[in-house]
C-alpha cells in the first residue's frame, strides 16, 4: 500500500506541479534520462514530505497538552470545592 506522501508526490508529477529546482537536480543526476529523473524525484519528494509531516506531528503534540492540563486541574479543584462545600454544609463547619 503506497504511503500518502508518495501518492502526493505522484500527483505533483501527474499535474505538472513539481518543484522545478528539485526536478532539475534529479534530471542532472539522471544524466538527462527523464524516466530516471522522475523516479529520483518521487523518491526525494516523498522523503521531504514525510519529514515535514513528522515535524508537524511533533510540534502539534505539546501545544494540546497545556490546555488539557489546565482543564483537568480546574476540574479537580472544582470537584474538591464541591466535596468540601457539601461536607462543610452538612457538618456545620461554617
**Tell me: the pLDDT tens digits for 20-35?**
777 777 778 778 777 7
Residue identified by cell 522523503 is 47
pTM for this entry: 0.47
What is the reported pLDDT for 2? 64
Whole-number Cα distances in Å, 32 to 23, 29, 43: 11, 8, 17
36: Cβ contacts below 8 Å, ≥ 6 apart: 30
Residue spans of the domains in the chain: they are: 1-61, 62-94
Amino acid at each position: 500500500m503506497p504511503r500518502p506522501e508518495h501518492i502526493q508526490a505522484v500527483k505533483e508529477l501527474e499535474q505538472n506541479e513539481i518543484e522545478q529546482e528539485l526536478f532539475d537536480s534529479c534530471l542532472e543526476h539522471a544524466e538527462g534520462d527523464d524516466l530516471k529523473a522522475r523516479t529520483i524525484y518521487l523518491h526525494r519528494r516523498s522523503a521531504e514530505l514525510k519529514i515535514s509531516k513528522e515535524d508537524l506531528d511533533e510540534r502539534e503534540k505539546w501545544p494540546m497538552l497545556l490546555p488539557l492540563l489546565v482543564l483537568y486541574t480546574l476540574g479537580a479543584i472544582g470537584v474538591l470545592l464541591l466535596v468540601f462545600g457539601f461536607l462543610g454544609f452538612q457538618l456545620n463547619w461554617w
